[in-house]
Amino acid sequence: MRARLLSVAAMLFAVLSFHASAQNAGSEATVRTGGVGIDERQALDAERDRYNLRVAFAEKNGAYLSDIAVRLSTADGKEIYRGNTDGPWLFASLKPGKYRLEADNAGNKQARTITVGAHQAAHLIVLHWAGESR
């Protein structure tokens, strides 16, 4: 019985920490970050179809990164999200349009332009850095 209570408590902690990373960035986007540990990763996977942009952050050797500074803006420069990731994944639900994604890992920056269509499959972007872990 005690083991079951501990298991339930661990699952509840993972779910609460995962949901705490969700942010509504106004009417333009809903953004969720996380993916640390198997429970968080499974929670993200369960909701992945709700998001049309998925971004992973990793070193070139495959090691995942977190605490990446991210800025997401519309084509005309309107910022719709700014924050640091709570894990190696960022999921966003965006309206159709053109966006700019900027990611900063300890001063090493990358940027991508993304076009989201109304009935387009989700974008999967993997940003790699050459061993600049924190």
Q: What is the mean pLDDT of residues 102-123?
A: 94
Compute the 3-state secondary structure of the chain and give helix, strand, coil in percent, each to the nearest 5: 25, 45, 30
E strand or H helix that includes residue 31: strand 29-34
Please check the confidence at residue 127 and state whether its pLDDT lies above 90.
yes
- Residue 33 sits in a domain whose CATH number is 2.60.40.10
| Residue 86: band (very low, low, confident or very high) from pLDDT cuts 50, 70, 90 | very high
Say what the pLDDT of residue 23 is: 55
Q: Residues 52-65: what's their mean pLDDT?
A: 95
In Å, what is the CA distance from 84 to each residue of 26, 32, 34, 124? Answer: 17, 11, 10, 19
- End-to-end distance of the chain based on CA atoms, in angstroms? 40
Share of the chain above pLDDT 90, in %: 70
| Counted domains in the chain | 1
In this predicted model, what pLDDT tens digit does every residue of 16-42 receive, in sequence order?
Answer: 344 434 555 556 789 999 999 999 999
Classify residue 134: in a domain, yes or no.
Answer: no
In a domain, 95, yes or no: yes
- What average pLDDT does this structure show over 50-61? 95
Check residue 25 and give its pLDDT. Answer: 53
Residues of the domain holding 100: 2-129
Residue 32 lies in a domain: yes
108 falls within a domain: yes
Concatenated DSSP letters for 75-109?
Answer: TT--EEEEEE-SSSEEEEEE-SEEEEEEEEETTEE
95 CB-near residues (< 8 Å, 6+ apart): 28, 29, 116
Find, among 109, 77, 74, 78, the residue nearest to 94 by Cα. 74
23 backbone dihedrals φ, ψ, rounded to 5° = -135, 130
Q: What is the pLDDT of residue 121?
A: 87
